[in-house]
Chain A
Amino acid sequence: MTCRTALSLVEPYVDGELDASQKAGIEQHLGECRSCAFIHTRLNSLGIDLRNLTPRYDAPAHLRAQVLDSLRRKAGHRQAWRAFLAWPRWTASAWAMAATALLAVSMGWNVMQLRSRNAGGEVAQEIVASHVRSLIGDHLLDVPSTDQHNVKPWFNGKLDYSPEVKDFAASNFPLIGGRVDYIDHRPIAALVYKRRQHVINLFVWPSSSPLVAPQAVNGFNLDAWSEAGMNYCAISDLNEEELLQFADLYQQ
């Protein structure tokens, strides 16, 4: 075997990719040729160093829990939806009737909602702006605290209502504090949570009409809901799945 051939085979040899006859050929050459043997030794020890001396980057324990959790939620949602579609009593005519009824209702609803939806869109824009502003410089927290019993009383005297403050550190959504922001022509509470390096702003304010917010604006995910006369809107650059998980936790 020439050195030229040997050099073209030395890496596949180190990588265990040669067949028996090629392997025998190069082993013989390496036994005879000191310069090729030197190159083989260098490549071989590079491989050994890479395997033994580089960090392994194993997944942290909380990541396994988070992955399993979001997979189960995802599977659960898909299961429910499939069961609904496969419901045997949904015959074609029932589908048609349901679709017609839905169309009629939604047209009426659209007309009714046109004004409030526009208003909702404006509020959503203000929420996005506030979220972005909160991440610039030091605007994020007026009261930095991971203790819900510090954050809640801090709002006294700053707002004419008292937002419910919950901590989800146990579910890897730790509370990191709160601030007062000005949205929809009034001061409102922003509760701040974290998921890994992502900030979640949760805006809470009393309102008679529920907020109609888009699910995503400028790459941020939003989730809005209403409960007992209060509007809630969570916003983050976190993925949709985990943001919904956060919203579910808060509503429990």
Chain B
Amino acid sequence: MSTTRMTIGIGRASGASAPGDTVVCKLPFMDEASKLALFEQTIVPHLNAAHNLAGWLTRNQRDAEDVVQEAYLRAFRFFDGFHGGDGRAWLLAVVRNTCLSWMARRAGAESASVEFDEHVHRTADEEESVEELLIKNSKINSLRICVEALPVEYREVIVLRELQELSYREISEIAGIPIGTVMSRLSRGRMRLLDCMEAK
């Protein structure tokens, strides 16, 4: 799990800091109860950020819940590898990896799943949406559709940068790619989004 590595004191502080961003010292030989208490204090408060990323990567609310559940158990197992710093970025790296392996597993299990994804998967969202039909041509809707249509490697950097407001450095650590790649993917992602919005 090299991607869950955290650096301390990275560049610019991220725009949206969530509650629980306190300086923590993790002591060796900490018992499970204290470890859990520390985990609940530093990692659990970022549940919304985790769910948001999972939602955008899986493009499906119910799948996102499964991924978040799995990611939290995984994060707790690897909590010894967290050495303080921004719990949110550390957790998002775990969520991102869990998402990708989860999506790979699913792609393997349902090789004929493109149609399944588009129709069956999104019915829950669409059921709640008489209103959504009415605003179908609105900007909100086209923006969501355009983001969801991005290939996952562009989608993740766009979501991490624009919605989670993380720095290039943090994104490069979470996604395990060089900063130059973060910048070029962001740029291509934005071009695609602008083109997509114009076509709507």
Q: Which residues of A contact B140 (CB under 8 A)?
A: 53-54
**Nearest CB of B to A63, in Å:** 5
Extra contacts besides A70-B69, A71-B36 (16): CB < 8 Å: A15-B168, A42-B194, A46-B194, A47-B162, A55-B55, A57-B61, A58-B52, A59-B68, A63-B51, A75-B32, A75-B33, A79-B32, A82-B32, A196-B62, A196-B65, A241-B73
Closest to B167 in A: A17
Number of residue pairs spanning A and B whose beta carbons lie under 8 angstroms apart: 114
Report whether B36 and A196 are in contact in the complex, using a CB–CB cutoff of 8 Å.
no
Give the size category of A's interface with B.
Answer: 35 or more
Grouping DSSP codes into helix (H, G, I), strand (E, B) and loop, the B interface class, with mixed when no group exceeds half, is helix
In the complex the two chains form, what is the Cα distance from A53 to B193 in whole Å? 14
Some 8 contacts from A to B, beta carbons below 8 A apart, are: A15-B161, A17-B167, A56-B52, A66-B69, A71-B39, A196-B65, A197-B62, A239-B70
Per-residue interface assignment for chain A, residues 66 to 99, with 1 indicating a CB less than 8 Å from any chain B CB and 0 otherwise: 1110111011101100100000000000000000
**Given A15-B168, A43-B190, does the pair A59, B162 have CB atoms closer than 8 Å?**
no
From A15, A57, A75, B51 is in contact (CB under 8 Å) with: A57
The yes or no answer to A181 lying at the interface (CB within 8 A) is no
Q: Which residues of B contact A56 (CB under 8 A)?
A: 48, 52
Report whether A59 and B163 are in contact in the complex, using a CB–CB cutoff of 8 Å.
no
Q: Which residues of B contact A239 (CB under 8 A)?
A: 66, 69-70, 73
The yes or no answer to A60 lying at the interface (CB within 8 A) is yes
Grouping DSSP codes into helix (H, G, I), strand (E, B) and loop, the A interface class, with mixed when no group exceeds half, is helix
The yes or no answer to A51 lying at the interface (CB within 8 A) is yes
In the complex the two chains form, what is the Cα distance from A13 to B165 in whole Å? 14
Per-residue interface assignment for chain A, residues 3 to 47, with 1 indicating a CB less than 8 Å from any chain B CB and 0 otherwise: 000000001100111000000000000000000000000110011
Per-residue interface assignment for chain B, residues 41 to 84, with 1 indicating a CB less than 8 Å from any chain A CB and 0 otherwise: 00010011011101110000110111011101100100000000
